[in-house]
Amino acid sequence: MAAEGETLTATSYIKHHLQNLTFGQLPAGYERADGTVLEQSMWTLAHSSKEAQEMGFWAFHVDTLCWSAGLGILFLWLFRKAAVSATSDVPGPLQNFVETIVEFVDNSVKESFHGKNDVIAPLSLTIFVWIFLMNLMDLVPVDWVPFLFSVLGVEYMKIVPTTDVNATFGLSLSVFFLIIFYSIKVKGVGGFVGELTLQPFGKKFIPFNFLLESVGLLAKPISLSLRLFGNLYAGELIFILIALLPFYAQWMLSVPWAIFHILVITLQAFIFMMLTIVYLSMAHEDH
């Protein structure tokens, strides 16, 4: 799975598994990894990590987008199937599973959210299940899917969307925009601005108050995204390092780590959901 002409070493193996399948634009005159020179700028898939870097900010991580969308569709399909086939008689395994998750999320919202908003519970359910499913992909053996796609001619394939900081930051930005939206909706523009400028030290220290409150506000999406990304990226990296060991050592280490990692992926989905609920509850509080 190394690039063409590249000797597969431990370093190249790790870099390969941490590289996203990137689609972007390369400039005219660019010499590609296979030695060809582009006569004009072109949108294409990157054939190396260097090409992915050259594509710049407007490049897309195709694997992150596709796996995220696919897992989101899986979530919607499973829960819709449970809702359509729901019965008041003896429920099936799927209905039991879905009802347990819905009840768990509903109780979490009731305990932590002190406003009145019909969006919060469905939003929290979506966040918890979707992030859990994306995290769960980290338990798939690291070589299986990349090998399958390499047979199909696709050089790179990362299947854990939450190990891509772009995905986690996108999720946290969505929550951040909701915080701003509901803060202004509940408190008004004046109330929101007053909250940023008059707390915690009153009118005499407006610049200092604004600095403190702005840092606290901007820290919310950053902490949300980096916490999720850091934990899942570290977990994936450990799986990759274990895959470099002899076969017998892989089984001795990967199975205990996978069992422990089940707790990590569940906890990270729960933390993201709970912080979202708490932040939105704070946005609904009018002092």
Nearest to 71 by CA among 140, 172, 144: 140
The residue whose two tokens read 């906890």 is: 267
Residue 236 token pair = 């994936």
Say how many CA atoms lie within 13 Å of 235 toward its Cβ: 30
The 8-class DSSP code of residue 17 comes to H
d(CA 197, CA 208): 8
Number of other CB atoms surrounding residue 198 within 10 Å: 16
Which amino acids are annotated catalytic? 223, 227, 231
The residue whose two tokens read 């294409």 is: 44
Helix (H, G, I), strand (E, B) or coil at 37: strand
Phi-psi region of 178 (alpha: psi -120 to 50; beta: other; left: phi over 0): alpha
d(CA 68, CA 70): 5
d(CA 6, CA 14): 14
Which element (helix H / strand E) includes 26? strand 22-26
The residue whose two tokens read 């902490």 is: 223
d(CA 106, CA 140): 30
Helix (H, G, I), strand (E, B) or coil at 65: helix
Nearest to 176 by CA among 123, 217, 212, 214: 217
